Amino acid sequence: MTNDFQREITRRRTLAIISHPDAGKTTLTEKLLLYSGAIRSAGNVMVGKHKATVSDWMAIEQQRGISVSSSAARVEYDDYILNILDTPGHQDFSEDTYRTLMAVDCAIMLLDAGKGVQEQTIKLFKVCRDRGIPIITFINKMDRPALDPFELLDNVEKVLNITAVPMTWPVGDGQDFRGVYERQDKLFHFFERTTGGMFKAPMRLADIHDEHIRASLGEKAHAKLIEDLEMVEVVLPHFSQDDFFAERITPVFFGSAITNFGVENFLQSLIDLAPVPQGMNASTGVIAPDSDFFSGFMYKMQANMNKSHRDRIAFFRVVSGKFERGMTAKHFRSGKEVKLNYPFQIFGQDREIIDEAFPGDVIGLSNPGVFRVGDVLSTGTDFTIPQFPRFAPEIYAKVIPKNGSFSKSFRKGVEQLGEEGVVQIFGDMHGSPIPLIAAVGELQLQVFQSRMESEYNEIITLERLPFTRTRWLGGDVMPASSTLTYALDEQGRKVVLFRSDWEMNYHLEQNKGLVLLEKPPEEVQA
């Protein structure tokens, strides 16, 4: 491998932001983008999330003010490239989030300084832990009344069972928030408000006894700051990269995304701290980024991202080798060779054809209908990704077109939204055209219904069904009961639907040798 290729790998970082809704994920993403060449005009992003945001774009998101679709942003800063993968904010879409977390090497855990660790953060944190990815914490909204910084660190440690190591320390909060002190360089990034409520560029001051700081904070607050900083140095641990990579510690930064306080030095720290693109745990062992073949996997499908394109996009994370436009790679699940002519970078609604990509990058590939989440493309070794998460649905409904016609657009909508993972689709065992959809969260059904209407012009009725569990059959023994409901998964494999755990266990007891699996048998064996 050439030095140039190695350099391309080492200048990349691939991350996702995990947070509870409203902590400021969209705002922070936009502010990080502001420091890169990606958004040139600050005005574009300052007008508010739902007018001109770069990472939220679907109608339903705009109506409800939530982020349900995953896109990717690319921040170019100081010769580095940060790929920030967007994760849906709503808990009903956690399946999408889990998959996106398969494609990153590091996560930013964003907390609201007034609230600390919240419910959704806990769930997502656990996924990162299970995946073994290091986590960097950003405590946002310091410009509002915040919990005491010691209390916030204690909260992280107690709730998440990880040692919180402050890399910066906030100077004041709410109206008195003046910036952050960087522990390692012993430097203040000190901000002053102007009369219009805006902020001057930060001053970097090395002396905490500086007159300017004292005058700006007032005697009392200044004395408290000095006391706090002494305590931080004596009581709190220092950063160690080994502990960070092993998830024993999370480095913590304080700031305010909306006012840009602490964002630029956070960006610099992301580059310094986040790991370079990592290898992938595959069925054949670890695929190293500098392997001599190109490979990667799809972590997300999305239909109709842009009305003027009306196509299906596979979001693909490059794992190894160099990707070049026009190259041919093998799609292992189908055994077909695919020519990758139009790879692009996705940027909100816009896309730009790219000629090359490197490990850590995320590219969009047009999906001719053969790609599925978890699929691998490679020019070398044949491998699969064993731990690709699949979630057991708990909500089921029949999908019935209001006009009674199972038209081509109806079938296409069901197929494409199923492929995208908006809901899971099951077919009828007896050939009825009425599909059955299954979801983990309620909102998925609503998004499915609304997108069928807005993108496929199909008004549908959802008829709820009483099932709560899907199981694949693992052996030859079939349940003896004739009252059970069966369906076919997306690959035509038979599944059994149960109303409750109680019912499922009853059949297990009644039928010796019956094996019920939470995943298709092929995925269990992988």
Residues within the interface to ligand G4P (CB under 6 A):
19, 21-27, 48-49, 67, 89, 140-141, 143-144, 256-258
Which residues have CB under 8 Å from 419's CB, separation 6+? Answer: 301, 303, 312, 367, 369, 372, 490
Separation of alpha carbons 149 and 168, rounded Å: 11
Q: How far is the CB of 162 from ligand G4P (least distance, A)?
A: 21
Closest to 86 (Cα-Cα) out of 59, 114, 107: 107
Nearer to ligand G4P by Cβ, of 140 and 470: the residue is 140
Nearer to ligand G4P by Cβ, of 144 and 412: the residue is 144
Separation of alpha carbons 329 and 378, rounded Å: 5
Q: How far is the CB of 402 from ligand G4P (least distance, A)?
A: 33
Nearer to ligand G4P by Cβ, of 36 and 378: the residue is 36
Phi, psi dihedral angles at 104 (to 5 degrees): -115, 165
Q: How far is the CB of 418 from ligand G4P (least distance, A)?
A: 27
Separation of alpha carbons 369 and 375, rounded Å: 12
Question: What's the count of helices (H) and strands (E) in the chain, helices before strands?
Answer: 16, 31
Nearer to ligand G4P by Cβ, of 113 and 160: the residue is 113
Nearer to ligand G4P by Cβ, of 109 and 319: the residue is 109
Nearer to ligand G4P by Cβ, of 321 and 348: the residue is 348
Q: Are 336 and 375 in contact (CB under 8 A)?
A: no
Nearer to ligand G4P by Cβ, of 22 and 76: the residue is 22
Q: How far is the CB of 65 from ligand G4P (least distance, A)?
A: 7
Return the C-alpha torsion angle 338, 342, 346, 350, nearest 10: -150
As a three-state string, the secondary structure of 214-266 is HHHHCHHHHHHHHHHHHHHHHHCCCCCHHHHHCCCEEEEEECECCCCECHHHH
Nearer to ligand G4P by Cβ, of 144 and 325: the residue is 144
Phi, psi dihedral angles at 25 (to 5 degrees): -60, -45
Q: How far is the CB of 256 from ligand G4P (least distance, A)?
A: 4
Nearer to ligand G4P by Cβ, of 56 and 458: the residue is 56
Beta bridge partners of 204: 189
CB atoms < 10 A from the CB of 159, how many? 14
CB atoms < 10 A from the CB of 355, how many? 9
Q: How far is the CB of 112 from ligand G4P (least distance, A)?
A: 8
Nearer to ligand G4P by Cβ, of 60 and 258: the residue is 258
Nearer to ligand G4P by Cβ, of 256 and 449: the residue is 256
State how beta strands 135-140 and 106-112 pair: parallel
Closest to 27 (Cα-Cα) out of 8, 9, 50, 61: 50
Q: Are 342 and 353 in contact (CB under 8 A)?
A: yes
Q: How far is the CB of 24 from ligand G4P (least distance, A)?
A: 3
Q: Are 10 and 2 in contact (CB under 8 A)?
A: no
Closest to 75 (Cα-Cα) out of 41, 108, 30, 42: 30
Phi, psi dihedral angles at 244 (to 5 degrees): -65, -50
Q: How far is the CB of 450 from ligand G4P (least distance, A)?
A: 20
Q: How far is the CB of 179 from ligand G4P (least distance, A)?
A: 13
Nearer to ligand G4P by Cβ, of 168 and 416: the residue is 168
Closest to 291 (Cα-Cα) out of 303, 301, 304, 278: 278
Q: 317: part of which helix (H) or strand (E)?
A: strand 312-320
Instruction: Name the one residue in this structure whose structure tokens are 């009483």.
Output: 466
Nearer to ligand G4P by Cβ, of 111 and 473: the residue is 111
Q: How far is the CB of 26 from ligand G4P (least distance, A)?
A: 3
Q: Are 53 and 29 in contact (CB under 8 A)?
A: no
Q: How far is the CB of 191 from ligand G4P (least distance, A)?
A: 13
Closest to 9 (Cα-Cα) out of 287, 197, 277: 277
Q: How far is the CB of 168 from ligand G4P (least distance, A)?
A: 14
Q: How far is the CB of 19 from ligand G4P (least distance, A)?
A: 5
